[in-house]
């Protein structure tokens, strides 16, 4: 059966590729009778195969955003505090195992992408000698570079996700039955393989594509992933070199507003380095939740308005966002009246925003009346009861609809997933500088890149005043390599990059060696909730009973991660285990 799946490519590729017209369809060979030998004929076939590889990248379980973040200090699995009971609870409680859905689904999704990429890569070798012109050969080489980038990325994710990096290596499409039953390879073998793919992609991909091809991978994306790989391997100078290449050579820029990185209206912006394109185009011939749909259902996991509110911000993350200090000298933080006149406090100083721009665009808070939420005040749109004191705005359609179920006919989302963005690279570059040396020049440069990220959101800058941001408000703290690294670990990266990308927080915590102690520390913290009353759109008072999160036992005495602190074991939980489905099917895995 496995042999047939890859002998006949209909299930692997053709099912995902739409035909251009009825006439074209009638002229096609029956795909159920189409073997790999008869399909791959020219660059058009390679491009169709590459489309299937990109479609595999869209599979929700490749990134597994809800599951990967619920296993960190960042999230709580929906309602039910203090005893979560939904399907993501085992990841929060650190009780998952090799039979759990997340590792099984992620493993399958990543290898599906690898098998599709291998088909394209092998077909390239067969087709190349038949191409007559240099232009055709260049087109084929661009297709190969994209396929190798995506295969390298899939293996990079497997290496960082499963079994200490020791996973199965498929360098080619399996043909005979024994080809499917490969043993686990040492993590160093897997790393060498994906780095070679990424290096080839880096040398052969363009720096940019025409606008109509936005979403295709680029040389800058390859550099960014190689930088991540070197950072994760603690090769700090090599990582810094890749990150500086990304920063200097591809015209990436931080967007003016951090929300541009979460909004559907500002997709493929100047900050985006690697992005998964989604669309509300709906394939009525397949199930609404089928993996081959070109929209995403992640909005349902995060939204409390028509969604499942299955992923909520943790107590500590919410408290940190609520206390993210603003730059009092930045006019973006000055409140204005209906005539755009600055509102002053009793001392004649501008009255400041209650929460930072970064906080407001990341979380919905009941007492944050600076931004609407599903077209009304946050406290009117969502319940903020039952110890639900905040919701993520990210991944939801709060700007454009009144309820996630307004999106028809699919009720899914078309918001693109920004996988890597420049702010992430700035902060990783800062870390590479800190870890790669302790001289003052490196620390000053690292501090500058952290402040670039903070200044974009009009946050109070850290360190001593500098000429780069001469009018800004600084906290006046003298940072050492150690204290600046602490800031990156516990403030800047979690607040800037919450629930984004591929398992960013989990991988950060694991490589810094702080996961167990972080859970133990947070388990000792206690928080309470207080009510908040708003005036709704009908002019009536509306009280939300869990609206305001405060530190201390007053108001409830809630804690997070008590079970995680007791249950977490690095040997069992730092990586996803090899799925039981693979171990059962493959006799070469012990």
Task: Render pLDDT for 555-575 as a digit per residue (tens, 0 to 9).
Answer: 678 899 999 999 999 999 999
Radius of gyration of the chain (CA): 25
How many domains does the chain contain in total? Answer: 1
386 inside domain = yes
Q: Burial, 402: exposed, middle or buried (Cβ in 10 Å; 0-12, 13-18, 19+)?
A: middle
What tokens does 452 get?
A: 């670039």
Exposure pattern of 467-494 as b/e (b: 16+ CB <10 Å)? eebeebbbeeeebebeebbebbbeebbb
389 inside domain = yes
What tokens does 416 get?
A: 């693109």
Residue 285 belongs to domain spanning: 278-347+359-411
425's enclosing H/E stretch is helix 422-436
161 inside domain = no
292 inside domain = yes
363: pLDDT strictly greater than 80 = yes
Task: Render pLDDT for 339-357 as a digit per residue (tens, 0 to 9).
Answer: 999 999 989 999 999 999 9
**Collapsed DSSP state (helix, strand, coil) of residue 437:** coil
| CB 254 within 8 Å of CB 271 | yes
Q: Concatenate the DSSP letters of all residues of 226-291 into one string.
A: HHHHHHHTT-HHHHHHHHHHHHHHS-----SSGGGGT-GGG-S-TTEEEEE-------TTS-TT-T
230 inside domain = no
| CB 298 within 8 Å of CB 60 | yes
- Let me know the angle formed at the C-alpha of 17 by 178 and 123, rounded to the nearest 5 degrees: 45
- Cα–Cα distance, 388 to 449 (Å, whole number): 34
CA 354 distance to own-chain centroid: 28
What pLDDT is recorded for position 37? Answer: 61
294 inside domain = yes
Task: Render pLDDT for 74-113 as a digit per residue (tens, 0 to 9).
Answer: 999 987 777 788 899 999 999 999 999 999 999 999 999 9
Nearest Cα to Cα of residue 81 among 566, 562, 525, 568:
562
322 pLDDT band (50/70/90 cuts)? very high
Please state at what angle helix 515-523 crosses helix 504-512, rounded to 10 degrees: 100
305 inside domain = yes
What is the maximum alpha-carbon separation in the chain? Answer: 81
- Let me know the angle formed at the C-alpha of 216 by 214 and 218, rounded to the nearest 5 degrees: 110
115: pLDDT strictly greater than 80 = yes
Looking from the CA of 376 toward its CB, the CA atoms found within 13 Å total: 16
381 inside domain = yes
Please state whether the predicted TM-score (pTM) of the whole model is above 0.85: yes
- Name the β-bridge partners of 272: 421
């Amino acid at each position: 059966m496995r042999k047939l799946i890859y002998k006949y490519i209909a299930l692997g590729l053709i099912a995902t590729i739409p035909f251009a017209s009825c006439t074209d369809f009638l002229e096609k060979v029956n795909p159920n009778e189409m073997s790999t030998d008869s399909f791959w004929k020219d660059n058009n076939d390679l491009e169709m195969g590459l489309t299937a590889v990109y479609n595999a990248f869209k599979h929700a379980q490749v990134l597994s955003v809800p599951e990967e973040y619920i296993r960190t200090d960042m999230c709580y699995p929906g309602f039910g505090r203090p005893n979560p009971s939904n399907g993501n609870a085992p990841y929060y409680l650190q009780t998952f195992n090799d039979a759990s859905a997340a590792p099984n689904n992620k493993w399958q999704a990543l290898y599906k992408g690898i098998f599709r990429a291998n088909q394209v890569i092998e077909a390239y070798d067969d087709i190349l000698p038949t191409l007559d012109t240099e232009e055709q050969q260049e087109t084929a080489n661009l297709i190969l570079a994209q396929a190798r980038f995506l295969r390298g990325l899939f293996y990079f994710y497997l290496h960082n996700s499963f079994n200490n990096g020791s996973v199965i290596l498929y360098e080619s499409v399996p043909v005979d039955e024994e080809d499917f039953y490969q043993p686990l390879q040492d993590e160093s073998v897997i790393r060498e393989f994906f780095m070679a793919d990424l290096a080839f992609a880096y040398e052969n991909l363009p720096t940019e594509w025409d606008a109509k091809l936005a979403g295709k991978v680029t040389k800058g994306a390859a550099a960014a992933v190689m930088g991540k790989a070197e950072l994760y391997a603690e090769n700090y100078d090599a990582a810094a070199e890749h990150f500086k290449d990304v920063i200097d050579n591809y015209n990436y820029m931080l967007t003016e507003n951090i929300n541009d990185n979460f909004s559907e209206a500002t997709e493929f912006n100047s900050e985006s380095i690697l992005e998964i394109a989604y669309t509300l185009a709906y394939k009525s011939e397949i199930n609404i939740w089928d993996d081959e749909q070109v929209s995403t259902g992640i909005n349902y996991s995060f939204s409390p308005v028509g969604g499942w509110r299955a992923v909520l911000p943790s107590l500590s993350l919410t408290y940190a966002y609520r206390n993210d200090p603003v730059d009092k000298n930045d006019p973006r933080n000055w409140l204005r009246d209906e005539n755009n006149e600055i509102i002053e406090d009793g001392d004649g100083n501008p009255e400041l925003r209650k929460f930072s721009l970064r906080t407001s665009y990341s979380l919905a808070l009941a007492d944050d009346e600076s931004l609407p939420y599903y077209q009304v005040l946050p406290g009117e749109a969502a319940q903020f009861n039952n110890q639900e004191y905040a919701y993520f705005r990210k991944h939801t359609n709060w700007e454009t609809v009144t309820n996630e179920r307004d999106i028809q006919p699919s009720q899914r989302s078309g918001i693109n997933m920004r996988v890597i963005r420049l702010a992430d690279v700035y902060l990783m570059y800062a870390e590479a500088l800190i870890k790669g040396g302790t001289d003052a020049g490196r620390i000053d440069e690292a501090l500058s890149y952290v402040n670039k990220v903070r200044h974009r959101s009009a946050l109070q800058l850290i360190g001593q005043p500098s000429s780069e941001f001469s009018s800004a408000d600084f906290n006046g703290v003298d940072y050492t390599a150690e204290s600046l690294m602490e800031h990156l670990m516990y403030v800047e990266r979690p607040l800037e990059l919450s629930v984004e990308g591929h398992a960013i927080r989990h991988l950060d915590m694991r490589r810094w060696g702080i996961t167990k102690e972080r859970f133990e520390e947070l388990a000792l913290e206690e928080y309470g909730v207080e009510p908040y009353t708003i005036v709704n759109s009908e002019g009536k008072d509306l009280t939300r009973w869990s609206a305001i999160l405060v530190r201390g036992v007053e108001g409830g005495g809630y804690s997070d991660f008590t079970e995680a602190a007791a249950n977490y074991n690095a040997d069992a939980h730092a990586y996803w285990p090899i799925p039981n489905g693979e171990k059962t099917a493959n006799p070469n895995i012990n």
